[in-house]
Amino acid sequence: MELATWTYEGPPHIGAIRVAASMEGVHLVLHAPQGDTYADLLFTMIERRKTRPPVTYTTFQARDLSGDTAEIFKDACRDVAERFDPQLMLVGASCTAELLQDDPGGLAKTLDLSVPVVPLELPSYQKKENWGASETFYRLVRACSSGWQGDSGPDAERQKTCNILGPTSLGFRNRDDVEEVKRLLADLGVRVNVIAPLGATPADLARLPGAGFNVVLYPEIAAPAARWLKKTFGQESVTVQPIGVGACRDFIAAVCACAGLPDRAKCMQERLSWYSRSIDSNYLTGKRVFVYGDATHAIAAARICEEELGFKLCGLGTYSREFARDIRAVAEHYDVAPLITDNHLDVEDAIIAAQPELVLGTQMERHVAKRLRLPCAVISSPVHVQDFPARYSPQMGAEGANVIFDTWVHPLMMGLEEHLLQMFRGDFEFHDDVSASHLAAVAPQDHSASRPVELASVEPEADEPDVLTWTDSAERELKKIPFFVRGKARRNTENFAAERGLNPITIETLYDAKAHFGR
Amino acid sequence: MTTVIDRLNRPLKKKPSGGTAETPRPVLRERGQHEVFCGLTSIIWLHRKMQDAFFLIVGSRTCAHLMQSAAGVMIFAEPRFATAIIGERDLAGMADVNDELDKIVARLLERRPDIKMLVLVGSCPSEVIKLDLSRAAQRLNAEHHNNCRVMAYSGSGIETTFTQGEDTFLTALIHDLPAAAAASPQSLLVVGTLGDVIEDQFARIFQGFGIEHFSFLPSRLSSSLPAVGSNTSFILAQPYANDAAKALIGRGAKQIAAPFPLGEQGTTSWLSAIAERFNVGTARFAATTDPGRARARQAVAHSRKDLQGRKVFLFPDSQMEPSLARFLANEAGADILEVGTPYLHKNHVSGELACLPETILVSEGQHVDNQIDRARAAKPDLIVCGMGLANPFEVEGFTTKWSIEFVFTPIQGYEQAGDLAELFARPLRRRALLKVEA
């Protein structure tokens, strides 16, 4: 048993619903108890979808358990075939139905429906949402494109066409990423064969092998399907995700290599590069940033932070265990400790320990950052309704880089404000307890005091009997340091004092430590 | 003594109809996909109401996902609910699950010493594997009774629909209530979660009636649970507290039957039933309630022009639908087409249904696709439905009011009658206002 308040991913059947809801002509029959229809409102409310997701739930109740739940499932399948007449029916079970062991796949087979049925095995007690989505997509691709009879020999025109794999309903900015990537590919002269699962039909999936190569936009969703397409039809995959300027250039190079075109990476036009170079951005240098999210977005964010915005990565983590190895490699490259966990309390502890000045994470890290009074921007699912915006806001491609610059810099204290705050500490209308003019929702507060004793005790010096104390004057002096670096200053000073056996900490110690650490 | 009911012009008069008054109204019962929440959702308001309680769901990742999807926009420093997610290892053997649960509870209570009541909430998975949470609660209660009360109830989808989760919670709570002494004075117990502001308003009215001993269930703190005994009279403030009523009767309390306190008329009937039981004189009743009644009528009048003659179709959600329909028909002048409810407790809502014309279809349970077909065919001006259906209906050109708001918004009592009418009128006004299409 595992204790969770927040869960980064839903159960695997949510992933299956996302794939079904992304496509046209597919209907999912889900064996599930009454109440599991809550999933519908993820689509109708959070994503503001205009139609009901194509899912029929059996919604069995306790009184049905003594009877024949299998019969209820079969009725639901027959009803769906008649009422919705889909091109393809997916059948599966949610966590409770999994315990009943009614075998949806086997039952659907006995019905002799005119609709082709793809059964899904969704082990709810082992796997999660993204796995469910990737498994569903893989099953669909296999079922639809195995029978490919078309030409798959070498052909220069075919080589210049690709599939875009991975965008789904409820994916973070997938709607606009697809537009941006389509534009990018069109500029390169690469034709798009099929985009899937978002907007595709089963017939479209059958055409997948007709492309020269695959662009895997979201490996969490499409990696298994792309691997199968490579094995079966020899299609290469572009596995760089074009999030950030450098990654976009690498993406273009990879696409050009697959398509047999000259590399045109230099032609990319975005504004992040200049904005980040302009002197206004000088104060961004070395800002400590904690990054957490799904693997794709976390890895991309780490590179943008370090190479494109001049931030200092102070933490990198993911809940995507399938991609733990990739995250570890990137963390090693940037010399931070990798955090592979799906426990939000572990993430919170890591954020507190890292004392960042900016948190880039998911909806959950917004909660943590709000509690710790830290600036925060959202870079990955899970997200709430405000991150399905009306405006064009991709993360990928040139415009994605522009969006990212604005979104990540916005929550930070602006340079001038930062300076004034330092000069006129305790100003009657401009002090720590009032929020910065552009940050109405975040009232800054000294969060470094939240766990000072615990932090000191986890240091190796904890075996020393005497507790490290601050003199009143030193404590007052510490308060004169701007709140967003105060936690870091406190910790550095305490480490410095502990190493040298200095106790209590005086103003002298504080400034000695400052000189020692350099900031 | 003459009681208020003798003289009061009974507000809830049955609408004239062709049928004989005593024939029971036919109810359409359907079985198919139920597009409703499970009882776990009740935690979202129950944990705000009981400020020292922690709700621990024993369930699957789906349960945790439901809770964060439903409560995700609320940002808490320390939320007072969580899920103990059953894993593969737990499914192997039962003894193991109980040990695991004990470990989680111990860790939780250590982390949150401020919690005075821990509520174990059963889910579909925990019930299908027959994990006995009541026994677990007893065991844990014995272990932790010094600093924390432990109780259990079911919020599973297979057993409960949305607000029924509160009913099963209240029922479990009622078994835990202290017994009132036989010689204790007559007391009033109001059953069902109400907004704090509404409780305070009703408390002032009860004081105006001269009722000295009254309390609300659930109470705001687990330490202030009311005592119950044969001198307790209780009244339901919410139509879904059916099992809770049974449990209270089982403990010797006497029920006051009344319509539910929605709108000016519903509130007056509800209060007059209390007044009758407590022998409040007519003059005193009028003096206490007349200003509120006048204000409520005035406030509802603002929205009446938007609702008068409008055809309304209610999908099942919270069991409040019969009361809402009665309010809409009697006080706002709307025409009701269908009243769906997940569960129809005849005794508790008979007063509400009796005021509705015979032409109205009452349905219990759901076959959502059939019901959508009926709604489309009936071409209502306003559809009251859940969030899974609302936006798709809007796209089809229908106006909707999403129903869970009636559970999360203060709507009971005189001072909220106008707000209640406004909840229905707003989507209609908005549709008229906007010059853009979906």
- B10-48 pLDDT, tens digit per residue, is 445 555 544 444 557 789 999 899 999 999 999 999 999
B355 is in an annotated binding site: no
**Could you give the percent of chain B with pLDDT greater than 90?**
81
pLDDT at B345: 92
Q: Pick B60's closest partner by Cβ from A57, A83, A124.
A: A124
pLDDT digits (tens, 9 = 90+) for B181-193: 989 999 999 999 9
Give the β-pairing of B81-85 and A2-4: antiparallel
Choose the weakest-confidence range: B94-108, B203-217, B323-337.
B94-108
Q: Is the pLDDT of residue A448 over 90?
A: no
pLDDT digits (tens, 9 = 90+) for B76-90: 656 799 999 999 888
Q: Find which of A72, A96, A349, A447 to mutate to test the B interface (most B CBs within 10 Å of its CB).
A: A96
Q: Look up residue B7 and give its amino acid.
A: R
> Which residue on chain B is closest to A365 by alpha carbon?
B75
Contact at CB, B91 and A384, closer than 8 angstroms: no
B124 is in an annotated binding site: yes
Q: Cα distance from B80 to chain A (closest Cα, Å)?
A: 9
User: What are the structural domain ranges in chain A?
Assistant: 12-127, 145-259, 271-410, 413-432+467-518
With cut-offs at 50, 70 and 90, classify the pLDDT of residue A166.
very high
Report ipTM for this prediction.
0.91
Does the beta carbon of A10 lie under 8 angstroms from any beta carbon of chain B? Answer: yes
> Which of A61-75, A303-317, A357-371 is predicted most confidently?
A303-317
Contact at CB, B157 and A35, closer than 8 angstroms: yes
Does the beta carbon of A342 lie under 8 angstroms from any beta carbon of chain B? Answer: no
Does the beta carbon of A94 lie under 8 angstroms from any beta carbon of chain B? Answer: yes
- Taken in order B218, B221, B223, B226, the sign of the CA dihedral is negative
pLDDT at B69: 83
Choose the weakest-confidence range: A191-200, A209-218, A428-437, B109-118.
A428-437
**Fold agreement (A12-127, A271-410):** yes
Q: Is the pLDDT of residue B327 over 80?
A: yes
Q: Find which of B40, B391, B436, B437 to mutate to test the A interface (most A CBs within 10 Å of its CB).
A: B391
The region, left, alpha or beta by phi > 0 then psi within -120 to 50, assigned to residue A244 is left
Contact at CB, A95 and B76, closer than 8 angstroms: no
> Average of pLDDT values for A469-489?
84
The CATH class of the A271-410 domain is alpha beta
> Average of pLDDT values for A32-41?
95
CA angle at residue A344 from A321 to B127, to 5 degrees? 85
With cut-offs at 50, 70 and 90, classify the pLDDT of residue A57.
very high
> Which residue on chain A is closest to B366 by alpha carbon?
A59
How far is residue A197 from each of residues A115, A228, A387, A493, measured CA to CA in Å?
19, 15, 21, 53
Answer with the residue of higher pLDDT: A374 or A405. Answer: A405
Q: Which residues of A8-19 are buried (b: 16+ CB within 10 A; e: fewer)?
A: bbbbbbbbbbbb
**Helix or strand (DSSP H, E) at B244:** helix B242-250
Q: Is the pLDDT of residue B289 over 70?
A: yes
- Kindly name the residue from A68, A75, A151, A280 that is annotated as catalytic: A280
The CATH number assigned to the domain with range A145-259 reads: 3.40.50.1980
pLDDT at B5: 42
> Average of pLDDT values for A375-388?
93
pLDDT at A416: 62
Q: Is the pLDDT of residue A456 over 50?
A: no
Q: Look up residue A14 and give its amino acid.
A: I
> Average of pLDDT values for B99-105?
93
Considering the domain delimited by A413-432+467-518, tell me its CATH architecture.
Orthogonal Bundle (1.10)
**Fold agreement (B39-160, B187-283):** yes
Which tokens is A55 given? 């899912």
B51 burial level (CB within 10 Å; 0-12, 13-18, 19+): middle
Residues of A in Cβ contact (< 8 Å) with B136: none
Answer with the residue of higher pLDDT: A487 or A353. Answer: A353
Contact at CB, A100 and B70, closer than 8 angstroms: no
Answer with the residue of higher pLDDT: B437 or B166. Answer: B166
Rounded Cα distance between A51 and A43, Å, is: 9
**Angle between helix A129-145 and helix A12-22 axes, rounded to 10 deg:** 50
CATH number for domain B187-283, candidates 2.60.15.10, 3.40.640.10, 3.40.50.1980, 3.40.50.720: 3.40.50.1980
pLDDT digits (tens, 9 = 90+) for A411-436: 886 656 666 666 666 666 656 555 55
Rounded Cα distance between B301 and B52, Å, is: 40
Residues 21-40 (A) with a CB less than 8 A from some CB of B:
33-38, 40
How far is residue A38 from each of residues B37, B66, B371, measured CA to CA in Å?
6, 7, 18
Residues of B in Cβ contact (< 8 Å) with A125: 60, 86-88, 91
Q: Is the pLDDT of residue A438 over 60?
A: no
Which tokens is B215 given? 């309390």
CB atoms within 10 A of CB B22: 5
What residues pair up with B412 in beta bridges, in sequence order? B262
**Could you give the percent of chain A with pLDDT greater than 70?**
89
The CATH class of the A12-127 domain is alpha beta
Contact at CB, A7 and B61, closer than 8 angstroms: yes
How far is residue A365 from each of residues A383, B75, B412, measured CA to CA in Å?
10, 11, 37
Q: Which CATH superfamily is domain B39-160 in?
A: Nitrogenase molybdenum iron protein domain (3.40.50.1980)
Q: Which position has the token pair 């794999």?
A: A165
pLDDT at B68: 85
- A280 belongs to the catalytic site: yes
| Full-model pTM | 0.90
pLDDT at A476: 87
Which tokens is A187 given? 């500029």
Best CA proximity match to B174, nearest among B224, B137, B227: B227
Rounded Cα distance between A404 and A410, Å, is: 10
Q: Look up residue A394 and give its amino acid.
A: P
User: What are the structural domain ranges in chain B?
Assistant: 39-160, 187-283, 302-434
pLDDT at B76: 60
Rounded Cα distance between B93 and B104, Å, is: 17
Residues flagged as binding site of A for substrate? 415-416
The reply to whether CATH 3.40.50.1980 applies to domain B302-434 is: yes
Rounded Cα distance between A429 and A437, Å, is: 11
Q: Do you know the residue count of chain B?
A: 438
Which tokens is B59 given? 């369930």
